[in-house]
Structures are given as C-alpha cells and as structure tokens.
C-alpha cells in the first residue's frame, strides 16, 4: 500500500479546505440576493396573514403576494414623537437600516428598538380599516418577530403572525399554528381605561365576547406564552405604539 508523506497529507487537506471555502463563499454571494428577496416575501406574506387577506396554509405565488401587498399603504412612525416620521418616504424606508435607540428595562426584554418603525394601513372604502404593527420580544430561546393587525378602533384584534423566532417546534413554535392564531381575532387589546389588557392565559379562554382580553395558552410553553403577553404589553403601551394609537383614534384616520 502506498504511503503518503505528512507534507503531502497537510497540503492535500489545505487545498481541499481552500477549494471548499471558495465554493461556499461563491454560493453565499450568489444566493444572497435571492435570500433577501425571500425574506422580504416572507415578511410581506406575514403582514397579509396578520390581516387575514391571505389565510395561513394558502399556497400563494410570490407574484400574488407582491400584488396583494401593493394594495397596503406603508407608513413610518417615529417612536420619539409618536407621529409619522417627517421627510421619510415609507415606500423606500428599509426597516433593517433604521437607527436603534436604547430603551429602559421593559416587559419585552428588549434593550433597543428602532427609532422609526414601518407600519401598514389597509384601506376599505377610502378609510383606514386596519393597522398592522410590528411586534417583537423575547421568548424562551430568542426574540420573536411578528405582526399584530388591529381594526381602526385601535383595540379590536384582527390577527397575529410570527415570521421569525427560535422557539421549539411543537411547544413555543406553536405560535405558527393556524389553530392558535384563530383564537386572536375579535379580542381586545385595551380595557375600558385604555390600559393594555390582552394576555395569553394558561389553558383555554372563553369566547371573544365573554372573555375579550384572554387568549388560549400554548401548552407546555409557558415561557413563550408569557413572552407574547409581555411583548404586547410593551408594544401597545407607552413606550411602544400606545401614544400613536391614541392620536390615531382621537384624530381619525390619519
């Protein structure tokens, strides 16, 4: 049997590593654009699912997603002023590039949030029918990112979706389950004093009419369930969209 020298073995391994890393880098660069497009599409689909323009599980072509998404109006809210950001074109605004600002300790366990946040308005008969707001906060394994769709009354929930999280499939990952998401519509974010009241309970909630502030818990996933409650408390509260939503309902469809 032929014996290879140590030098040959090292050189061979090194060359193989080099070729593999070049191939990987080329693939990463070549696929970057496609990955970004897919991430964008996934986010757009999530917005459409939150407002139930498309239903979870529906197979929709990328072209159809883009066509439906084009009917929704983006707006950019400045969390420092709680008003629409001045001099910002919402169509051109890229959320990923927004400046981050530190926030005091909060329920969602977020240390920083974007200064400017892209939201969406769905119109019907020339008026805003729904607002779709991004939400995020810590679960058990990491941050969950999603959208909450509200009626123009700013309290009635139309739907919720998560498009990015690290929770365990079958446990916290059930935030993606269409059945769990079906528990949300028609429940209320705020109580009669406009305090955030919506929360995920342990076990099953009654109907939205008799139990408007409770949502069924995710079984075996108390930490994720608490994470969902806490992120809504933060994003719908004073530090999040609370003041913007107040001025929206007081000043009408703006």
Ligand X SMILES: Cc1cc2nc3c(=O)[nH]c(=O)nc-3n(C[C@H](O)[C@H](O)[C@H](O)COP(=O)(O)O)c2cc1C
> What does the binding site for ligand X look like in residue numbers (CB under 6 A)?
140, 167-168, 171-172, 220-224
Q: Which residue is nearest to ligand X (CB)?
A: 172
Between 127 and 166, name the residue whose CB sits nearer to ligand X: 166
Smallest distance, ligand X to C-beta of residue 220, A = 5
Q: For residue 237, which of 43, 96, 82 has the smallest C-alpha distance?
A: 82
- Number of CB atoms found within 10 A of residue 127's CB: 10
**Residue 225 near residue 202, CB atoms below 8 Å:** yes
CA distance 110 to 101: 11
Smallest distance, ligand X to C-beta of residue 221, A = 3
Smallest distance, ligand X to C-beta of residue 34, A = 29
Starting at the edge strand found earlier in the chain, the sheet holding 127-138 runs 83-84, 73-78, 116-124, 127-138, 143-151, 157-164
Smallest distance, ligand X to C-beta of residue 163, A = 17
Smallest distance, ligand X to C-beta of residue 103, A = 24
Between 55 and 202, name the residue whose CB sits nearer to ligand X: 202
Between 164 and 222, name the residue whose CB sits nearer to ligand X: 222
- Number of CB atoms found within 10 A of residue 135's CB: 22
Between 134 and 227, name the residue whose CB sits nearer to ligand X: 227
Between 87 and 169, name the residue whose CB sits nearer to ligand X: 169
CA distance 175 to 169: 9
DSSP-derived pairing of the beta strands 199-200 and 127-138: unpaired
Smallest distance, ligand X to C-beta of residue 222, A = 3
**Burial class of residue 29 in the structure, from the number of CB atoms within 10 Å of its CB (0-12 exposed, 13-18 middle, 19+ buried):** exposed
CA distance 156 to 152: 8
Between 40 and 168, name the residue whose CB sits nearer to ligand X: 168
């Amino acid at each position: 049997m032929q014996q290879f020298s140590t030098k040959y073995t090292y050189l061979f391994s090194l060359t193989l590593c080099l070729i593999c890393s070049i191939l990987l880098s080329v693939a990463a660069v070549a696929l970057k654009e496609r990955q970004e497009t897919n991430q964008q599409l996934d986010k757009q689909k999530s917005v459409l699912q939150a407002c139930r323009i498309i239903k979870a599980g529906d197979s929709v072509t990328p072209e159809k997603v883009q066509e439906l998404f084009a009917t929704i109006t983006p707006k950019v809210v400045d969390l420092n002023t709680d008003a629409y950001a001045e001099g910002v074109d919402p169509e051109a605004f890229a959320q990923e590039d927004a400046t981050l600002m530190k926030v005091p300790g909060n329920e969602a366990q977020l240390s920083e949030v974007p200064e400017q946040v892209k939201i969406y308005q769905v119109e019907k008969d020339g008026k805003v029918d729904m607002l779709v707001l991004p939400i995020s906060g810590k679960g058990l394994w990491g941050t969950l990112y999603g959208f909450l769709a509200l009626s123009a009354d700013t309290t009635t929930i139309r739907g919720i979706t998560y498009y990015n999280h690290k929770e365990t499939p079958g446990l916290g990952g059930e935030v993606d389950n269409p059945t769990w998401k079906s528990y949300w519509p028609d429940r209320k974010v705020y109580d009669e004093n406009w305090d955030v009241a919506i929360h995920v309970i342990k076990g099953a909630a009654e109907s939205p009419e008799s139990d408007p502030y409770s949502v069924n818990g995710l079984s075996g996933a108390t930490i994720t369930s608490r994470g969902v409650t806490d992120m809504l408390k933060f994003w719908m509260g004073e530090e999040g969209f609370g003041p913007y939503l107040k001025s929206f309902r007081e000043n009408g469809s703006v």
